Amino acid sequence: MALAIVNALGQVVTFVRPDVPAGWQPPEGCTAVPDDELPAGWQHAPDNSPVPPSISARQIRLWLVRHGVSLAMVEAAIDGIADAVTRESVRVEWEYAPHVERTHAWLVPMAAALGLTEAQVDAAFREAATL
């Protein structure tokens, strides 16, 4: 199960994990609804805007926290990388890169380890660019 973030028009904007931190609130103007309580025929809010090629490290971290993905979860996903050189390379990128590039080789595997699809990563980049 996940939580659907629903905008004022009743359209699903995105989904977040159900284990969001205590005190977490959905973005302004939205509500959180358990995905199994969505009415039949629900649809995603259309978003045809381009995906930014990069966002700042601050923006992605804020987006993650606001969507129930703690920074400790990111660290755990990095710790779970089997190859030591790859693990430390990804850790350097995560800790020191000023921006996150949408096409970077580690982004999709890390997102998958956090339970995010490529479509959700695109949505994350669009939303995070506004933070």
Domain ranges for the chain, please list them.
3-37, 54-128
d(CA 109, CA 3): 22
Measured in degrees and rounded to the nearest 5, phi and psi for residue 33 equal -130, 130
Please compute Rg for the chain using Cα positions. Answer: 15
With b for 16 or more beta-carbon neighbours within 10 A and e for fewer, the 70-84 pattern comes to beebbeebbeebeee
Could you report the per-residue pLDDT of 65-114, keeping only the tens digit for each? Answer: 988 899 999 999 999 999 999 999 999 999 999 999 999 999 999 999 99
pLDDT in tens, 19-35: 777 788 888 888 888 87
pTM above 0.75, yes or no: no
